[in-house]
Amino acid sequence: KLFTMRDYIAICKQIMEEEGRFEAEVAEVQAWWSSERFKLTRRPYSARDVVSLRGSLKQSYGSNDMAKKLWRTLKTHQTNGSASRTFGSLDPVQVAMMAKHLDSIYVSGWQCSSTHTSTNEPGPDLADYPYDTPIIADWDLFWRHTATVSFAKLFGGAWAAGWFISRTQSSVTNEMWSLAGKVAVAVEHIIGLSRQRLQFDVMGWRQPWLLVKTLEAELQPSRTLACNGQLKTFSECVTDAIKSMNIGEYEKRRRLNEWMNHSSYDKCLSHEQGREIAERLGLNNLFWDWDMPRTREGFYRFRGSVDAAVVRGRAFAPHADLLWMESASPDLAECTKFAEGVKSMHPEIMLAYNLSPSFNWDASGMTDEQMRDFIPRIAKLGYCWQFITLAGFHADALVTDTFARDYAKRGMLAYVERIQREERKNGVDTLAHQKWSGANYYDRYLKTVQGGISSTAAMGKGVTEEQFKETWSRPGAMDTGGAGTEVVAKSRM
């Protein structure tokens, strides 16, 4: 078929309309990026790049609302010098209990993998657990390239408000921070953060995600990248070489001062830049080979320290929303040094801290009062999100172990005293566990499609949970003078 002038004009009009929609979407993305939320964020790509990667069908994500709420919560804490404190949730029961008292929920990747959760969920969806408390998830995928993009989409669809990225470890050695043999990544980590951010932008998440960047722990000499005590940095070699020069003491001090001024952590000199300065100071052909002490696997040696974490934090700050330095023990001095070092260049950056159960807190030298005040003290330094990674794991093990031991000896009295009466006394929702787990909801579902009538309702007449709405006399109870022998079962559901 031959195209007529009318066909040509129609095609041109269609192209112009499509280009107009494209430019309008680009302008919308640019306005979005110019908001207060993104004033600290750096992207290595343009709004046009993002729009060109989008499909024609737009989707909305409930995670946007959670991310917005979490961002507002943490900014409020940052302004007030306080912190959102949370811990690792093991299952929906813990999520529901935590949501009554905490303003954010953390899901530990280690905890999930350790307890063999095969459905990629913190627990069965039948449970009636809160969905309006922001959840931050632990992302243990170690920057595998395509997985970074895929997981960003999957986590978003699962209503995660944000997550932190696995501790800066290399994808070839997946040891977690508390183990030996870790390998820290360099520029690759920034690329991974940008890759993840790009996926968010392409999907058009209007309330941007909270990206929590973790900094590899320092001060752990057992790790693969810890520096041998006999090895020297290039800066140390230059310093030693200047001290050994056959020149006057005044000139020697001048050259040392000049070198120290140029080679401080703030300067972040590359090896090549350092050699150029050393040559200007009279050190030609200075021998220093970073390949000689490389490990059998080919990794370079790296001396971890708070200063090293500060340098990395400054580099990562434009690409993340929170920074976290992992430490070997709870140390207020380290927290202060890291916060001051990063905030000297990025004063508005938010910080996070792992109140790790891997620490032996009793061996930290703190008094009980200092432990109690640790969270608010470092919150004033800017650590506005603080979390105990595996508290759910340890709490679950402790309660089960102590109850099982007592149950083996005292039978049902152990259950009643340790659990049922304590649930009643403290108004814990799970006392009425059938209602808590969603039985009422599915009864309503069934009645809705059956005209409001059902003879098989789970919560109908005869359900055992009716016992918890009664007042009864408990034989053998101590009379306290009044209603001491009477028990009223209370459920807030």
State the binding site for Mg(2+). Answer: 138
* Token couple for 232: 């020297």
Phi/psi for 351 (5° steps) reads -120, 150
Binding site, annotated residues:
138
For residue 350, the SS3 value is strand
Look at phi and psi of residue 462 and say left if phi exceeds 0, alpha if psi is from -120 to 50, else beta.
left
* Token couple for 373: 């005040």
Calculate the CA dihedral of residues 397, 399, 400, 401 and round it to 10 degrees: 80
Determine the length of the chain. 493
* Token couple for 33: 């990026």
Q: In whole angstroms, give the CA distance from residue 226 to residue 182.
A: 9
Going by C-alpha positions, the residue among 203, 235, 250 that lies closest to residue 303 is 235
- Strand order of the sheet with strand 105-107? 84-87, 383-388, 350-354, 322-325, 210-215, 162-165, 135-139, 105-107
- Asked if residues 87 and 391 have their Cβ atoms less than 8 Å apart, the reply is yes
Alpha helices in 34-90 (DSSP H): 47-52, 63-80
Tell me which amino acid residue 30 is: Q
In angstroms, what CA-CA distances link 78 with 42, 73, 133, 140? 21, 9, 19, 27
Going by C-alpha positions, the residue among 485, 493, 484, 486 that lies closest to residue 427 is 493
Tell me which amino acid residue 308 is: A
CA max distance for the chain: 102
Pairing of strands 471-473, 486-488: antiparallel
